[in-house]
Amino acid sequence: MDVTLLSTGGTIASTDGDGGKTPSKEGEALIEAVPGLGELASITVERVASVSGFDVTWERAAALRNAAEAAAEASDGIVVTHGTDTMAESAYLLDLTTDLDVPVAFTGAQRPFDEVGTDGPPNLLAAVRTVTHDRVESGTYLVFDDEVHAARDVVKSHTSALSTFRSPERGPVGEFTPAGLRLFREPRSYAAGVPGVGDVGAAIPILTSGLGAGGDALRRVVGDPASSAVDGVVVGGTGLGNTTGALCDAIEEIRAAEVPVVIASRCHEGATAPLYGGAGGGTTLDELGVLWAGDLQPWKARIKLAVALAVGGDGVDEAFFERGLREPGR
């Protein structure tokens, strides 16, 4: 089978340098570090970027999408090596904006290339095994620590643990055991995407509500709502998706200027729901015309809002944004 490895940098490619660990190894070096990897597939390497996961931009994400679409024309599967800090976001963005006929597996490492016990080689091996498996025909995944996660559901849960990636409530699509890949649910895309959408890139800050949170920070970020450079705002609310009364007042002001506001939750599991009334309550926010993130965490809600803005052109496509937030049968 033919597999294309798209390398973007990240911890998996990092060694000492520039005052700390930085990406320095190319994709060929990553392959050489995994004995027998070439026996699974014929692997072609393409360098898309060489940056840490915390510095992935909209432009770099667009370059990755272009590279993946081109690679899909000549490959049976695609593996993306990526920094873990934003890997779940990049995987979700790719899943939302493409409909490739081959599977894509993102992977990386928590321990750098030159560190004893680096987890890069086993993760890369598992990623190649995923995209060459006869049951995995399409979809975008994040493969890490012998688990295969759907791009739509996965989040980074720990700063340094090897088992950092989790899919809250749903669990992984599958896991690798000594007997091979054990599937728990159908391997496919779980994102309600819009293949073919144009450029995705928007100024969308994330603010968080909490004890004593006021509204001035939001006002400063947005500025004059009528001429703001901000395209939308995501608010990490408390519980089911509530804010303080002061923050709600600021949201009301920017909603009056039709700046889209998405309400997500700070909680690690569960979905948003407008239940409570009063200042900052979900039903009050709902009356202001906010969008609800469902069970998407704030940083993934930001990705979906950016795509919804690209789909809608001059305004957010609310129907697209709402699609897939509570898809049945997950």
Active site residues: 11, 84
Q: Report d(CA 154, CA 294) in Å as an integer.
A: 15
Q: What angle, rounded to 10 degrees, do the helices at 87-97 and 58-72 form? A: 60
Count the Cβ atoms, other than its own, within 10 Å of residue 97.
25
Distance of CA 221 to the CA centre of its chain: 24
Spell out the residues 6+ positions from residue 159 whose beta carbon is closer than 8 angstroms to its own: none
Q: Report the amino acid identity of residue 154.
A: V
The residue whose two tokens read 């009063």 is 278
Q: Which residues pair with 236 in a beta bridge?
A: 208, 264
Pairing of strands 174-177, 147-150: antiparallel
The tokens describing 135, both together, are 């049951």
Integer angstrom CA distances of residue 69 from 22, 91, 121, 212, 311: 27, 14, 25, 47, 19
* H-run or E-run covering 282: helix 282-287
* DSSP secondary structure code for residue 110 in this structure: S
Residues forming a β-bridge with 77: 3
DSSP state of 238: B
- Contact yes or no for 171/184 (Cβ under 8 A): yes
Helices of type H across 132-232: 216-222
Going across the sheet that includes 42-51, the strands are 42-51, 2-9, 77-81, 104-107, 140-144, 147-150, 174-177, 180-183
